[in-house]
Amino acid sequence: MQKLIGSVTSRLVISVPYLWLLIFFLVPFLIVLKISLSQVATAIPPYTPVLDITAGIRSLFNGISQFTWENYVWLVEDPLYYKAYISSLVIAAVSTVLTLIIGYPIAYGMARAPASIRPTLLMLVILPFWTSFLIRVYAWIGILKPEGLLNQFLMWANVIDTPLNILNTHTAIFIGIVYSYLPFLVLPIYSALEKMDYSLVEAAEDLGCPPLMAFWKITFPLSMPGVIAGCFLVFIPATGEFVIPDLLGGSSTLMIGKTLWSEFFSNRDWPVSSAVAVVLLLLLVVPIVLFQRSEAKAQESEK
Amino acid sequence: MNTTWSRFNIASLVLGFAFLYLPIVLLVVYSFNESRLVTVWAGFSTKWYVSLFNNQAFIDAAWVTIRVGLISATFATILGTLGALAMTRYTRFRGRMLFSAMIYAPLVMPEVITGLSLLLLFVAIGLDRGILTVTLAHITFSMCFVAVVVQSRLVTFDRSLEEAAMDLGATPVTTFFKVTLPVILPAVVSGWMLAFTLSLDDLVISSFTSGPGATTLPMRIYSQVRLGVTPEINAACTILIAIVAVGVIIASIANKRREVNRARDEQAAARN
């Protein structure tokens, strides 16, 4: 009897979240794929064909035969789209490297800090993450504007004579991404460095290895799992980022998240925005799978 | 330890935290600015808070946001905890690879894709867009965050406690509520808080899945920001930051107290 209850419970524990994710995560992607093969129409919903399973198999096949590659051809032919994809990937890659350069010393400083203040430092890194993404990006507008606080400060300090034009440039996007995603990179690196056995570095230094060399040969390789996880956590969402390029990048910056948004909300072209999403997903599927593997492996090794 | 290194460490920490906190501090300070020009200081004033509380559109959006946040965080915590149990307790079941992919992928999935795909689902099944669809969307992406938080607590959990309870005749459900849940409760609570803040913050997914009458606070703030930076938005942002800060402080105090209590119990147990 107890075995029976056990197996029923275990089925429920697995199937409830499983079904939820199937319906609200996997099935929506199939719908996106389907609509990316449809044509735009002035109707509700604004695409055709509308597949209706209740209308019978014949009409279903009839609908499928109307599928078209048109939207994908459109994506290839219009340079706006592939330029947006390339510039998104480049901006995300550059920002990831910048985040790593700024984030690694912070994680290292935290891991080397006295054990008593480490929880406080950890909390200080996590705290900004709890405040809204939108608010943190918005805060930078007031700082980077031509008449903003940064320019006021630099002119007061006599560093510059004329205001710098930072807002609505790539630099502003880099600042926005580094700032918003910094905790995502610092935390995994910190947890890798904190677990590290520091006596290895001491041994190397005792044997005459210069500190920088010891860092490069021992500390950095040992922190690699954290570095990889952190870089994925920055790179993947940054590629499809919408809020940061929209608020800080101005109208001239091309990023695919922005393109998708305006295709959907301004042009109301659902099939093309679905095609944009499918291609973006294809570009990101390799990094996403690698990220999922590295997370699953990290969980396994902790058992 | 080498002194140059530790000086370097301190410098990188100070600069890093200055970078993280200065923008937020400036935002809060300028919400008390008398002038309508956000970047010119003209004296202390709370008038933007007063005008904010007289702005019905903001108040309505705040209510929608709180309702969506409370409901979605609760469901996300239940589903996420179940997901974490499934991942750690049942290592072999059909489709486990797919399940783990569906747990981790939403953590990094660009929001525009999640938002668009959920909207198309709701249109396909004929669900009217409104508070319900926003809530369903928020449950979906935040349950994965809860699952990861709870899972990291479950993997370090001593399973012999559960086995002992089962050997003594407790059903799996009783075992969960009497043995497992009390131990993983801090992780479940922080999972709930994380889900609530994620819901409170979300702009992109809400914009896709919401309809008339379901404008959330971030959506309202965003449409105002597009018109320009105003001290009123700074005031709204300051209130949001204050709510989150108070929540985090209460949680950490509660955590500390629990740790102190546990230490005292352990000492008492050791003495007996």
Q: What does the pLDDT read at residue A60? A: 65
**Any residues with CB less than 8 A from the CB of B49 and at least 6 apart, and which?**
B31, B235, B239
Contact A26 B102 (CB under 8 A): yes
Q: How far is A19 from B151, CA to CA, in rounded Å?
A: 19
ipTM: 0.84
On chain B, the residues whose CB falls within 8 A of the CB of A139 are 23-24, 26-27, 237
- C-alpha distances (whole Å) from A215 to each of A197, A227, B148, B172, B210 are 13, 14, 31, 49, 50
Mean pLDDT (whole number) for A61-68 = 72
On chain A, the residues whose CB falls within 8 A of the CB of B181 are none
**Nearest CB partner across the interface for B117, out of A31, A131, A240:** A31
Class of residue A26 by CB neighbours under 10 A (exposed 0-12, middle 13-18, buried 19+): middle
**Nearest CB partner across the interface for A128, out of B20, B106, B233:** B20
- Give the residue among B195, B207, B211, B198 at the shortest CA–CA distance from B112: B207
Mean pLDDT (whole number) for B22-29 = 87
On chain B, the residues whose CB falls within 8 A of the CB of A141 are 225, 229
Pick from B119-123, B155-159, B214-218: least confident: B155-159
Q: pLDDT class for B3, splitting at 50, 70, 90?
A: very low
Q: Which helix (H) or strand (E) holds A48?
A: strand A47-48
Phi/psi of residue B55, nearest 5 degrees: -95, 100
**Any residues with CB less than 8 A from the CB of A69 and at least 6 apart, and which?**
A37
Contact A34, A51 (CB under 8 A): yes
The DSSP output letter for A218 is I
Structure-model confidence comparison of residues A212 and B118, the more confident one: B118
Burial track B241-269 (b if 16+ CB lie within 10 A, e otherwise):
beebeeebeeeeeeeeeeeeeeeeeeeee
To probe the interface with B, which of A19, A21, A120, A209 has the most B CB atoms within 10 Å?
Answer: A21
Phi/psi of residue A39, nearest 5 degrees: -110, 150
The DSSP output letter for B229 is -
- Give the residue among A118, A164, A170, A112 at the shortest CA–CA distance from A143: A164
| pTM of the predicted protein model | 0.86
Is residue A170 predicted with pLDDT exceeding 70?
yes
Pick from A121-125, A230-234, B110-114, B224-228: least confident: B224-228
Mean pLDDT (whole number) for B83-102 = 85
* Residue % of chain A over a pLDDT of 90: 27
The residue written with tokens 């990889």 in the block is A228
Cis preceding linkage at A79, omega within 30 = no
Is residue B207 predicted with pLDDT exceeding 70?
yes
Question: Where do runs of H (alpha helix) occur along chain B?
Answer: 3-30, 47-53, 56-89, 96-108, 111-124, 131-154, 159-167, 172-175, 181-201, 204-209, 217-225, 231-271
The two three-digit tokens of residue A136, written as one number: 């943190």
**Any residues with CB less than 8 A from the CB of A180 and at least 6 apart, and which?**
A133, A136, A137, A244
Contact A176, A90 (CB under 8 A): no
**Beta bridge partners of residue B33, listed in sequence order:** B44
To probe the interface with A, which of B4, B13, B37, B150 has the most A CB atoms within 10 Å?
Answer: B13
Contact A273, A263 (CB under 8 A): yes
Query: How many interchain CB pairs under 8 A, A with B?
Result: 253
Q: Within 13 Å of residue B76, how many CA atoms lie on the same side as its CB?
A: 34
The residue written with tokens 């589903």 in the block is B79
Domains of chain B as residue ranges with CATH: 61-219 (1.10.3720.10)
Q: What is the pLDDT of residues B244-264, one digit of tens each?
A: 788 778 877 877 777 788 778
Contact A277, A36 (CB under 8 A): yes
- C-alpha distances (whole Å) from A151 to each of A124, A143, A154, A213, B157 are 28, 8, 5, 39, 53
Domains of chain A as residue ranges with CATH: 78-302 (1.10.3720.10)
Class of residue B167 by CB neighbours under 10 A (exposed 0-12, middle 13-18, buried 19+): exposed
Q: What is the pLDDT of residues B75-90, one digit of tens each?
A: 999 999 999 998 888 7
Mean pLDDT (whole number) for A52-78 = 73
- C-alpha distances (whole Å) from A302 to each of A39, A91, A224, B108 are 49, 34, 17, 22
